[in-house]
């Protein structure tokens, strides 16, 4: 198979939010990476005993999959991505437009984890409304910049799923850009980070996008360098089957506290 040489402008040139949603978020089942993430996120939020005044999802892409469990625990949620077309795709869902992506299967799965029993369609509708209410800003961001939002800003909770690892195939750049991302977390705040594990690239339709080939040890070092307390750090590598052909065969999940 032909592998394109890495193109640093690949997101500017070849990204299509609809193709990404079709490839990774349109199954009629819950992919095993999603199961692993949501189980840990729900357990963390239930047991941590914290709420978060301000949260941000950095590199959210055209997705809201991380927001279902968060919505009851955050005062406001900001969504940030490098590409305006991803933010417009999310806006369609926020406005409940007819062409918007349907996240119901994902939302129902999370609600059932929370309730530990089946939930009704009206419970899904109620949570969707809450998720939409909590989003108070959509922002452009670039993790290559020392200030990814173009201004100094901090949040009590920083989420980032498959973003920095998918932005470069250089581990040195990944280290530096993780440092930039983690400046967004306030002292005493928390971060929830998902990354592919030891992946080289991922496929969307006919295009290949980069992966930084990082693992749990790299994640621990990046967190340490950014001032995250190792004693309060949960970092786990989880094997994944669903995407082994297209992207990765394992992921790293980190739920960590700064300071
Ligand atoms: C693999 S997608 C992940 C999307 C979403 N978080 C998810 O969980 O499916 C990678 C995302 O990183 C974003 N991205 C790429 N380069 C970036 C950069 N320099 N700064 C911020 N986001 C970037 C892309 O626009 C894309 O939305």
Q: How far apart are CA 169 and CA 146, in angstroms?
A: 19
* CA–centroid distance, residue 34 to ligand 1 (Å): 17
Residues with beta carbon inside 6 Å of ligand 1? 11, 15, 59-61, 63, 81-83, 86, 141-144, 161-163, 166-167
Ligand 1 atom, smallest distance to 15 CA: 25
In a domain, 7, yes or no: no
Please tell me the total count of domains within the chain: 1
In a domain, 102, yes or no: yes
In a domain, 3, yes or no: no
Contacts of residue 109, defined as CB under 8 A and 6 or more positions apart, other chains included, come to: 30, 34, 35, 38
Q: How far apart are CA 126 and CA 70, in angstroms?
A: 14
Q: Which helix (H) or strand (E) is 142 found in, with range? A: none
pLDDT band at 233 (very low <50, low <70, confident <90, very high): confident
Q: How far apart are CA 126 and CA 24, in angstroms?
A: 25
CATH of the domain at 33: 3.40.50.150
The best mutation among 21, 163, 211 to test binding of ligand 1, ranked by most ligand atoms within 8 Å of the C-beta, falls on 163
The predicted model gives 82-95 an average pLDDT of: 98
Tokens 């994944």 appear where?
240
Which residue range forms the structural domain that includes residue 109? 24-257
In a domain, 133, yes or no: yes
**Could you read off the pLDDT of 102-132 as tens digits, one per residue?**
999 999 999 999 999 999 999 999 999 999 9
In a domain, 136, yes or no: yes
pLDDT at position 5 is 59
Ligand 1 atom, smallest distance to 177 CA: 19
In a domain, 15, yes or no: no
* CA–centroid distance, residue 164 to ligand 1 (Å): 7
In a domain, 122, yes or no: yes
* CA–centroid distance, residue 115 to ligand 1 (Å): 31
**Could you read off the pLDDT of 161-220 as tens digits, one per residue?**
999 999 999 999 999 999 999 999 999 999 999 999 999 999 999 999 999 999 999 999
* CA–centroid distance, residue 189 to ligand 1 (Å): 22
Cα 235 to its chain centre, rounded Å, is 15
In a domain, 139, yes or no: yes
pLDDT at position 231 is 76
**Could you read off the pLDDT of 1-58 as tens digits, one per residue?**
445 556 889 999 999 999 999 999 999 999 999 999 999 999 999 999 899 999 999 9
């Amino acid at each position: 198979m032909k592998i394109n040489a890495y193109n640093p402008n690949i997101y500017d040139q070849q990204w299509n939010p609809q193709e990404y949603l079709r490839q990774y978020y349109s199954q009629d089942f819950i992919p095993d990476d999603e199961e692993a993430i949501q189980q840990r996120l729900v357990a963390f939020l239930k047991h941590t005993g914290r709420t978060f005044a301000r949260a941000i999802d950095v590199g959210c892409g055209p997705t809201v999959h991380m927001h279902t469990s968060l919505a009851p625990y955050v005062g406001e949620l900001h969504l940030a991505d490098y590409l305006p077309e991803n933010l417009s795709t999310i806006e369609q869902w926020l406005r409940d437009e007819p062409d918007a992506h349907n996240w119901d299967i994902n939302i129902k799965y999370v609600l059932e984890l929370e309730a530990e029993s089946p939930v009704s369609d009206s419970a899904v509708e109620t949570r969707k409304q809450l998720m939409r209410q909590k989003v108070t800003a959509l922002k452009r961001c670039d993790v290559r910049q020392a200030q990814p939002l173009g201004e100094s800003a901090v949040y009590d909770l920083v989420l980032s799923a498959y973003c920095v690892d998918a932005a470069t195939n250089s581990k040195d750049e990944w280290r530096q850009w993780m440092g930039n991302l983690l400046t967004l977390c306030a002292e005493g705040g928390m971060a929830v980070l998902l990354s592919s594990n030891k992946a080289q690239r991922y496929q969307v339709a006919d295009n290949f996008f980069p992966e930084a080939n990082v693992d749990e040890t790299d994640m621990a070092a990046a967190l340490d360098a950014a001032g995250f307390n190792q004693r309060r750090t949960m970092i786990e590598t989880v094997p994944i089957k669903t995407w082994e052909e297209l992207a990765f065969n394992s992921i790293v999940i980190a739920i960590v506290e700064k300071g």
